[in-house]
């Protein structure tokens, strides 16, 4: 233990989106907060890099306009500027051919992607998708749900492609159907937004808000271990004083979270059961688009995706394109050549305009694949088994998925801390 120890009401371990949301919310309500981030930069996987004057997220990122993350940002008056992503006029990649992607009645009628029976089945699915209650699919996988609809192979492949697009998951045999439908409905009803300057301005505004309301944010500060103490808990932080707190929110990936909980004999039964979701990605900056009207493409028979994010958001003087292949649980990474060939289908001759190309063989989409109830090992925000110790992050089981799950789990942890504090004061 260090010679000097200071105390706060809540320690937050991890300075990604979930940790920053929790810090902003708690500080806003007058709680003393110290956040520790092991790396030298806040944001986690929400960080943005600026290369050749162009803003790159770590792979394709989209903010659901009707999701929990957007609602939290709006509530804090931090809604980031950007533009709505459009799939209308996009391509459907099937085999070696590009077809019109059916996103509405007119494009469904005219596309060469589907046969006449396939078009009727796809129309039936698109009409019903917004009317089904997700909870009615409780206990089912995506594959089980879609098979029960008797769509036929063409329409089912299209439905699976739209689900991949809205969840970033290529695992119909494992993915929770209720969550998949929630994401699909959210995308259909409110759409997604790409943010000006990437996600970094959103991260910076959250950090500034938390600090302006009294939160202490420390980077390059790794929490080595946790201990119980008379006042609740004590954290040993490399290069810093030890910190005492009544509450802890662990907002790290699962492995370091489990290691820290192990110091306190907390529940980590989930640690070996979580299955990460991955994607191969290509981040590209171009001087100009060879084909300006071609801004979106979606794989039908493979888990591929290509989108010109700069068509909706200000990301620099030229064009920023993200290409991805969502990887199945046992699928090998897509090669750089495969991803470049996909981009060349959307933007023929793109290499002549290339300023920067960066290849990521296996990026983490989520640290935990959401499975149906009864199979889902993801812990909830209060799944530590310890009073006053909470989890937050996109991998924590809560409302929504990806960034929305990060926001929702952070808010759930904050709500529990605030409720306990109110009860203690009342007593």
Strands 91-94, 296-299: parallel, antiparallel or unpaired by DSSP?
parallel
pLDDT at 299 over 60: yes
| 36 touches 226 (CB < 8 A) | no
Q: How far apart are CA 52 and CA 45, in angstroms?
A: 20
**Domains, the chain:** 5-46+200-273+374-426 (3.50.50.60), 103-191 (no CATH)
pLDDT at 56 over 90: yes
Residue in 78, 79, 185 with CA at minimum distance from that of residue 125: 185
Facing residues of 83 across strands? 194
Q: How far apart are CA 137 and CA 178, in angstroms?
A: 5
pLDDT tens digit string along 259-295? 999 999 999 999 999 999 999 999 999 999 999 999 9
Query: Average of pLDDT values for 31-42?
Result: 97
Query: Cα–Cα–Cα angle for 325, 373, 60, nearest 5°?
Result: 20
pLDDT at 2 over 50: no
| 177 touches 135 (CB < 8 A) | no
pLDDT at 304 over 70: yes
Residue in 414, 201, 427, 218 with CA at minimum distance from that of residue 313: 201
| H or E, element range at 50 | strand 48-51
Higher pLDDT, 154 or 89: 154
Percent of the chain at pLDDT exceeding 70: 99
pLDDT tens digit string along 355-406? 999 999 999 999 999 999 989 999 999 999 999 999 999 999 999 999 999 9
pLDDT band at 1 (very low <50, low <70, confident <90, very high): very low
pLDDT tens digit string along 62-108? 999 999 999 999 999 999 999 999 888 899 999 999 999 999 889 99
pLDDT band at 4 (very low <50, low <70, confident <90, very high): low
Give the three-class secondary structure for 75. helix
pLDDT tens digit string along 186-227? 999 999 999 999 999 999 999 999 999 999 999 999 999 999
pLDDT at res. 241 = 83
**pTM over the 0.85 mark:** yes
pLDDT tens digit string along 220-261? 999 999 999 988 999 999 988 899 999 999 999 999 999 999
pLDDT tens digit string along 116-152? 999 999 999 999 998 999 999 999 999 999 999 999 9
DSSP assignment string, 82-143: EEE---TT-EEEETTEEEE---SHHHHHH-SSS-HHHHHHHHHHHHHHTTS-GGGGTT-BHH
């Amino acid at each position: 233990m260090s010679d000097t120890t200071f105390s706060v009401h809540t320690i937050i371990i991890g300075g990604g989106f979930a940790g920053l949301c929790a810090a902003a919310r708690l500080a806003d309500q007058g709680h003393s907060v110290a956040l520790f981030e092991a790396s030298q930069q806040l944001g986690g996987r929400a960080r943005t890099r600026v290369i050749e004057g162009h803003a790159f997220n770590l792979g394709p990122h989209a903010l659901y306009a009707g999701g929990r993350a957007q609602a939290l940002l709006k509530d804090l008056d931090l809604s980031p500027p950007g533009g709505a992503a459009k799939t209308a006029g996009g391509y459907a990649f099937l085999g070696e051919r590009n077809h019109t992607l059916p996103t509405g009645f007119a494009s469904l009628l005219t596309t060469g992607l589907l046969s006449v029976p396939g078009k009727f089945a796809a129309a039936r699915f698109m009409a019903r998708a917004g009317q089904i209650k997700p909870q009615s699919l409780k206990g089912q996988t995506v594959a089980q749900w879609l098979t029960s609809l008797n769509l036929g192979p063409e329409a089912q492949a299209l439905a699976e492609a739209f689900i991949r697009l809205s969840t970033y998951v290529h695992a119909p045999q494992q993915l929770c159907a209720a969550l998949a439908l929630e994401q699909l409905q959210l995308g259909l009803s409110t759409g997604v937004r790409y943010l000006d300057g990437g996600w970094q301005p959103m991260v910076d505004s959250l950090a500034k808000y938390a600090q302006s309301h009294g939160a202490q944010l420390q980077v390059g500060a790794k929490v080595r271990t946790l201990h119980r103490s008379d006042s609740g808990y004590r954290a040993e932080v490399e290069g810093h004083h030890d910190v005492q707190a009544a509450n802890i929110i662990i907002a790290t990936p699962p492995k370091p979270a489990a290691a820290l909980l192990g110091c306190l004999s907390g529940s980590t039964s989930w640690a070996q059961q979580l299955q990460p979701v991955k994607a191969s990605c290509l981040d590209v900056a171009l001087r100009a688009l060879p084909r300006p009207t071609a801004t979106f493409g979606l794989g039908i028979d493979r888990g591929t995706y290509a989108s010109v994010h700069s068509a909706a958001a200000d990301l620099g003087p030229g064009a920023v394109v993200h290409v991805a292949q969502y990887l199945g649980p046992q699928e090998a990474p897509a090669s750089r050549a495969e991803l470049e060939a996909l981009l060349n289908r959307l933007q023929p001759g793109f290499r002549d305009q290339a300023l920067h190309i960066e290849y990521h063989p296996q990026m983490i989409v989520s640290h935990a694949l959401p499975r149906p109830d009864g199979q889902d090992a993801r812990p909830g925000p209060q799944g530590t088994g310890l009073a006053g110790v909470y989890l937050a992050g996109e991998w924590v089981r809560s409302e929504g998925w990806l960034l929305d799950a990060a926001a929702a789990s952070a808010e759930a942890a904050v709500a529990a801390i605030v409720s306990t504090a109110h009860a203690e004061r009342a007593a």
